[in-house]
Amino acid sequence: MKIFLDTANLESIRKYNAMGIVDGITTNPSLLAKEGGDPEAIMGEIVRTVRGPVSLEVINTEFEGMISEARRLSKFGKNVVVKVPLTSEGLRAVKQLSSEEIRTNVTLVFSANQALLAAKAGASYVSPFIGRLDDIGHVGMDVIRDTVQIFKNYGYKTEVLVASVRHPLHVVDAAKIGAHVVTMPPDVLAKMISHPLTNIGLDRFLADWEKTKEIPKAKLALSK
Ligand code: G3P
């Protein structure tokens, strides 16, 4: 399963990229606004920092505007994937962009039906927002399960990109279902790395190693 970071924070991107565990990046207008810098400059730097796909979202909501924005964003680099909202205009844009070989990530997906339509339009990725569904009392992971099944049934090449991930259990559940990609905020990735027993075990190993320095030289010579 591919791991994407859902952030526009370059420091986090560089940190986890260096560990070889990040396959790509997803951004959105909210994440870029959070960084407080020039969004165009940040997008350009992310695209140059990461080799894998980087999703950059269009702001235009009408077909013509989406297309010209998508063409402009795709010039940031070969690894750009244009994020388009699941609307009627968005689906039309996905069809056009796919004919121009511009990869798309259909965002703001909240049902398996919407995901199916995105795949039919030619999306490269479809992004169901599971955390926001959980927030309103729906089981977000059900949309992932249904979408993965539907894409398998009909052989769609569109990848299921699990978005709006809130905690490490979302990642395990998505991986068990067989989702292609999970995009997560850096804090969720940090939680996946860390385990209290790893820290306790490491402290104990280091403390025991210190004890070897107290073994008398005579005893060490005997044991040779
Ligand atoms: O990037 C889209 C999605 O992952 C947003 O997540 O936490 O704002 O619901 P969230």
| Dihedral sign, Cα of residue 166, residue 171, residue 174, residue 179 | positive
pLDDT tens digit sequence for 209-218: 999 988 777 6
Query: Does 83 participate in catalysis according to the annotation?
Result: yes
Ligand 1 centre to CA of 33 (Å) is 13
Residue 110 Cβ < 6 Å to ligand 1: no
Domains of the chain: 2-187 (3.20.20.70)
Give me the pLDDT at residue 224, please. 66
What's the number of CA atoms in the CB half-sphere (13 Å) around residue 61? 2
Q: Find the radius of gyration of the CA atoms of the chain.
A: 22
Angle formed by the axes of helices 10-17 and 186-193, nearest 10°:
30
Q: Stretch 36-45: mean pLDDT, rounded?
A: 97
Ligand 1: which of 46, 55, 127, 132 to mutate, most ligand atoms within 8 Å of CB?
A: 132
Q: What's the pTM? A: 0.94
Query: 108-157 pLDDT, tens per residue?
Result: 999 999 999 999 999 999 999 999 999 999 999 999 999 999 999 999 99
Question: What are the b/e assignments for 24-44, b being 16+ CB within 10 Å?
Answer: bbbbbeebbeebeeebeebbe
Q: How far apart are CA 26 and CA 180, in angstroms?
A: 14
For the cut 80, the answer to whether the pLDDT of residue 220 exceeds it is no
